[in-house]
Structure 1
Amino acid sequence: MQIHWHRDDLRAADNRGLAAAADAAAGTDGASGTAPSGGVLPVFVLDDGVLEYAGDARVRFMLDALDSLRAWYRDHGSDLLVVRGDPASILSALAREHDADRVVWNKGYSGFARDRDDRVRDALDDEGVEYDSFHDAIFHEPGSITTNAGDPYSVFTYFGRKWLDRPKADPVDAPDASALADVDGDPLPAIEELGFAAPDADVETAGTDAARDRLDTFCADGIFRYDEDRDYPTRGAVSRLSAHLAWGTIGIREVYAATEAAMERAENGGADVAGFTPEEQVDSVEEFQSQLAWREFYTHVLYFNPEVVTENYKEYEHDIEWRDDPEELRAWKRGETGYPIVDAGMRQLLDEAYMHNRVRMIVASFLTKDLRIDWRAGYDHFRTHLVDHDTANDNGGWQWAASTGTDAQPYFRIFNPMSQGERYDPDAEYITQYVPELRGVDADTIHEWHELSPVERAQVDTDYPAPIVDHSERREEALSMFEAARGDD
């Protein structure tokens, strides 16, 4: 028998570890097409070491994804065993109980994942059970894209060029039912049994079918407008695949293959997307593919620098003197800063466990530059509330915004939250969707909110708060803060 340990690969199709386990199981008797070795036993471990850092919305999505995956296994004459505890103890015990020949899983690249995998290997060694891990979540393993000197890249541009030029593996098929073990699993635990509550946020649908629906919808339209429209939160030009990639309800090879099919459509005369030439559509598909490269770049950065989860990637001569202001941090978390685009983003996070990417950059800049609060406070808040939390990408994004990360924006580039709102939400559609106090207020007034006098704001007759800080003043303070950390005279 082969045991496949599911982690953040909650799918059957395009799963390289699962496919390898199925091939090994079925290959013991290729003539009959059956699995004399007992087939593949699929297992998911509810690891308290992971749950410790989760939030209600993410756990809800995880349980729904597990439910969807379990349904697939049951439709194919098997089941998904879901067990809570320490993976090392559970997997070694299951291997002993089922007389397993081997335990397989797909590789994780964070320091936490690698330490956990080492403990699992040690436990399986003690049992005399073989094991193997497979490269699955990204196209190119850490260490495979390097500088000419053989070092990991710290600048995306050069990494991205090589990433785009490298051949990409094709998706792999889901295993046949004949390769799966005939087992029965226990019911999934309720979210409350795991120490969490039903989330206040409206969590999106999990599972491979939902992911494929997202991908199909995006590749029919949004991908061809992506380069032009992706920064505008109301234009619907983003894939919304982030949660599915984070939890692995869809494979990266399947996603990339769909983008290549879209590329072919664009190159052969263009898709039926009004206002965009075939050349512009090709550029848009390439831009989306480059975002997949960014995702992989940050995974490589995390692999070679696991300490970045808690430490600045970039070294400054002196410590950055972040402010400790619980009241301002609380206002930011609640979406009550008096800066409409910031508050809309923070409330979207609370409402949907998701935030548009351009707005993520805006709110992160506001926290680290306007409020001068440590990026780690923002990262922790996002980790708790985002259903699509991914350690490498979230950490990379936060350190980019804070000017502490690899290939980060320069410390002197500070987003003006009002001009960002005016540029990317000119009619205030996004703002008023999430900030109901401003519904009925004209867009110009919303975008000028920081410039209005107390009397003028009172005349608008809304409960929306005044700005908690002056952006111009805080910008100068942020510049001084970073210059002091750099040791500038």
Structure 2
Amino acid sequence: MEKITLFWFRRDLRLEDNTGLFYALQQEKNVLPLFIFDRNILDKLEDKADARVEFIHSQLEEIKAQLEKKGGSLLIRYGKPDDIYRELLQEYEIQAVYTNRDYEPYAKERDAEIAQILKENGSELLSFKDQVIFEPGEILNGSGEFYKVFTPFSKSWLEKYNSTKIQTLDDPNWKNLYSSKYLPTIALKEMGFEKTSVEIPPKVADEDIIRHYDKTRNFPAQNGTTRLGIHLRFGTISVRKLAKVAANLNETYLNELIWREFYMMILAYSPQVVDRAFKPAYDQIPWRNNTEEFQAWCDGKTGYPIVDAGMRELNATGYMHNRVRMVVASFLTKHLLIDWRWGEAYFAKKLLDYDLSANNGGWQWAAGTGTDAQPYFRVFNPDSQTEKFDKDLKYIKKWIPELETSKYPKPIVDHKSARVRAIDTYKQALNP
């Protein structure tokens, strides 16, 4: 059997400034990059025309072509990681597996299992920090505990960032790639998935947008955000390079990257937030969970234009503007008193940039159940949000062409009475 070292791609689908790949190529010979289409994840996806799977597939084809130009290739497998590793250990003498760390509960469990399989076979799993600037455990308060509030976390994060020279690793030793004979690819169809017509935003950190981000980010009709969420999610861009651009151009944009790491840290230290409120008292809220109202929300037919425009944008494109995300999440949890987990699960199905920690954090923030969340008595008024952020109705009319006709539905709830009902329901549950 041939001696090789594996580099295992996961949330880091790029060759440049990839920490684990860089160190594998510096320290080992015969490095064979690997990607596993993980059935533990894919089998749960109901919609087989999933643009995210198609996106991963297309990125891997690019990476494979780039590696072949450098004299190597990319091994792509489809199955459950534990089964795949047992098979690979029969095919190769694996010296070590290099990879970049992931902080989600499933990922940590999976990696512990793979590390054990490798150990039993005389090999090891070596992991590196890559998808964050500072990982969970690096930013702690004076008592050595994780921060529960964003503002002091962000201050500590910035202090550390400004006093640390963040390195990028761009020139790996490509001659240490394993020069494999032709390795076949796996077609989407072989895994039961289909191509889609969904457009993926370009992988470009537009400096002009970043420079003006603080002034444009709240207006959904403007091209005022970078749309890099999917690229950060799957690591097709380097967060270190993006943070460097943001630190030079716009602190509000940098702050968004800090929020991303805050929520990753919360999930790492409090994995129970996946299906429970961060603040346990909020698990007592008696949600109404009206299925017809939930369906109207999903379909963008609530009679509240800013909410409906957001949901239609999401359903059509896999994207929703961040300001609108807050409004639709507040509407579902407060106006309709529908469990935040229902909304979180719907976003998880639809969002191109779905990331468990950020999605969970955002929904719990809107519902008032999360860490450093908006207070329960703050209920977004969809009309005043429209007046502030889409006064000319450009965004709304783009997604609701029938707005001023009899075809557009009447509001399914009255704002004033829904607001009072939400506040009373929360108050009674929290102060029984």
TM-score when scaled to structure 2? 0.94
Q: Which residue identity does 2:111 align to in structure 1?
A: D
Is the aligned partner of 1:64 residue 2:58? Answer: yes
Is the aligned partner of 1:159 residue 2:124? Answer: no
Which stretch has the larger CA shift, 1-10 or 46-55?
Answer: 46-55
Show the counterpart of 2:179: 182
Show the counterpart of 2:267: 302
Where 2:264 maps in the other structure, the secondary structure is helix
Instruction: Give the drift of 1:194.
Output: 2.5
Is the aligned partner of 1:369 residue 2:369? Answer: no
Is the aligned partner of 1:203 residue 2:206? Answer: no
Instruction: Give the drift of 1:317.
Output: 7.0
Where 2:93 maps in the other structure, the secondary structure is coil
Show the counterpart of 2:246: 259
> Counterparts of 1:168 and 1:154 in 2: how far apart (Å)?
26
Show the counterpart of 1:445: none
> Counterparts of 2:131 and 2:322 in 1: how far apart (Å)?
21
Which of 277, 287, 305 is residue 252 of structure 2 equivalent to?
287
Where 1:436 maps in the other structure, the secondary structure is coil
Gap runs ≥5 in structure 2: none
> Counterparts of 1:294 and 1:83 in 2: how far apart (Å)?
34
Instruction: Give the drift of 1:168.
Output: 5.0
Which of 48, 73, 78 is residue 79 of structure 1 equivalent to?
73
**Is the Cα contact below 8 Å between 1:92 and 1:127 reproduced in 2?**
no
> Counterparts of 1:75 and 1:317 in 2: how far apart (Å)?
55
> Counterparts of 1:461 and 1:344 in 2: how far apart (Å)?
15
Show the counterpart of 1:400: 365
Count the aligned residue pairs. 422
**Is the Cα contact below 8 Å between 1:400 and 1:407 reproduced in 2?**
yes
Once superposed, what is the RMSD of the aligned Cα atoms?
A: 1.6
For each residue in 1:417-470, what CA deviation from the matched residue of structure 2 results, as whole angstroms up to 9, or x when unmatched? 1111121011111111111213xxxxxxxxxxxxxxxxxxxxx53411111111
Show the counterpart of 2:405: 461
Show the counterpart of 2:297: 332
Distance change >3 Å, CA 358–CA 343, structure 1 → 2 = same
**Is the Cα contact below 8 Å between 2:114 and 2:125 reproduced in 1?**
no
> Counterparts of 2:282 and 2:32 in 1: how far apart (Å)?
53
Is the aligned partner of 1:347 residue 2:312? Answer: yes
Distance change >3 Å, CA 319–CA 168, structure 1 → 2 = farther
Instruction: Give the drift of 1:129.
Output: 1.1
> Counterparts of 1:135 and 1:388 in 2: how far apart (Å)?
21
Is the aligned partner of 1:45 residue 2:36? Answer: yes
Q: Is the radius of gyration larger for structure 1 or structure 2?
A: 1
> Counterparts of 1:299 and 1:185 in 2: how far apart (Å)?
35
Q: Which residue identity does 1:415 align to in structure 2?
A: F
Q: Which residue identity does 1:125 align to in structure 2?
A: K
Instruction: Give the drift of 1:53.
Output: 4.1
**Is the Cα contact below 8 Å between 2:402 and 2:408 reproduced in 1?**
yes
Q: Which residue identity does 1:369 align to in structure 2?
A: K
For each residue in 1:264-307, what CA deviation from the matched residue of structure 2 results, as whole angstroms up to 9, or x when unmatched? xxxxxxxxxxxxxxxxxxxxx01111111110000000000111
> Counterparts of 2:83 and 2:171 in 1: how far apart (Å)?
28
Is the aligned partner of 1:431 residue 2:418? Answer: no
Q: Which residue identity does 1:477 align to in structure 2?
A: R
Q: Which residue identity does 2:391 align to in structure 1?
A: P
Q: Which residue identity does 2:191 align to in structure 1?
A: L
Q: Which residue identity does 1:4 align to in structure 2?
A: F
TM-score when scaled to structure 1? 0.83
Where 2:284 maps in the other structure, the secondary structure is coil
Instruction: Give the drift of 1:174.
Output: 4.9
> Counterparts of 1:160 and 1:168 in 2: how far apart (Å)?
18
For each residue in 1:325-363, what CA deviation from the matched residue of structure 2 results, as whole angstroms up to 9, or x when unmatched? 111111111111111111111111111111110011011
Where 1:101 maps in the other structure, the secondary structure is strand
Where 2:280 maps in the other structure, the secondary structure is coil
Q: Which residue identity does 2:424 align to in structure 1?
A: S
For each residue in 1:79-136, what CA deviation from the matched residue of structure 2 results, as whole angstroms up to 9, or x when unmatched? 2111011212312432442222111111110111100001101111121112211111
> Counterparts of 1:417 and 1:197 in 2: how far apart (Å)?
37
Q: Which residue identity does 2:88 align to in structure 1?
A: L
**Is the Cα contact below 8 Å between 1:298 and 1:392 reproduced in 2?**
yes
Show the counterpart of 1:473: 417
For each residue in 1:129-176, what CA deviation from the matched residue of structure 2 results, as whole angstroms up to 9, or x when unmatched? 122111111111211111111111000000000111112522211534
> Counterparts of 2:98 and 2:17 in 1: how far apart (Å)?
15
Distance change >3 Å, CA 487–CA 173, structure 1 → 2 = same
**Is the Cα contact below 8 Å between 1:232 and 1:424 reproduced in 2?**
yes
For each residue in 1:186-238, what CA deviation from the matched residue of structure 2 results, as whole angstroms up to 9, or x when unmatched? 12322x43233444x62315xxxx42xx21xx21x111211121111122221
Where 2:331 maps in the other structure, the secondary structure is helix
Gap runs ≥5 in structure 1: 26-36, 264-284, 439-459
**Is the Cα contact below 8 Å between 1:12 and 1:174 reproduced in 2?**
no
Identical residues among aligned pairs (%): 41
Distance change >3 Å, CA 99–CA 241, structure 1 → 2 = same
> Counterparts of 1:146 and 1:305 in 2: how far apart (Å)?
15
Show the counterpart of 2:429: 485
Q: Which residue identity does 2:379 align to in structure 1?
A: I
Show the counterpart of 2:325: 360
Where 1:186 maps in the other structure, the secondary structure is coil
Show the counterpart of 2:167: 170
Is the aligned partner of 1:389 residue 2:354? Answer: yes
Instruction: Give the drift of 1:67.
Output: 2.0
> Counterparts of 1:72 and 1:348 in 2: how far apart (Å)?
34
Show the counterpart of 1:417: 382
**Is the Cα contact below 8 Å between 1:246 and 1:390 reproduced in 2?**
yes
